[in-house]
Structure 1
């Protein structure tokens, strides 16, 4: 099995090997076409879904996915408009916004997870050795 390699370019930025990027684009396309989710939206739903019903603070999402608050807010607004998540202020601390999956969001995540697992099995050469 081939391992996914990353390299450090002269600017100090880590880059994935070129063969991984087209593959990620294909996975993104599959998720978009079959489930109406971008790869990024799928990742956000996955983090919220992994909380198993616990409300996830937006700050935790941004930290988990190494994302800016502005970008995360944009993605969450889209997921909320699609009926996949709910965003609410935490009781007792109105400054904290928390995210939970809706019933529809949980179902969409399960379907997308099935697609991603099947896709990854078909591209096993991209999975890290371990």
Structure 2
């Protein structure tokens, strides 16, 4: 029997596609959509001159990642503290998020895979 509103039965319906981001940030999603966060994020963007604090690359829009130096999970009271926030590009954000982990990176994994003529198609992971 087909699922209501679908052409497929429960056994054959297509699996939901996702990029993994929801699993990583789902519990904080309401916070990241709040006016307080948007205002603080804009302040950090302007304070850091739209440049990654690690590499100095110009960042804009979704490539402008505001990073919590001390994660919200460790101290929720610092989530809007401007001194706890820095602007990063996606690659530097991935590097910082994964540098202390001994396992294969699980956050921003696409930034750890390099293909093309520079690497000869080899996949590189951080040490």
TM-score, length basis structure 2: 0.26
Higher Rg: 2
Greater relative CO, 1 or 2 (CA 8 Å, sep 6+): 1
TM-score, length basis structure 1: 0.26
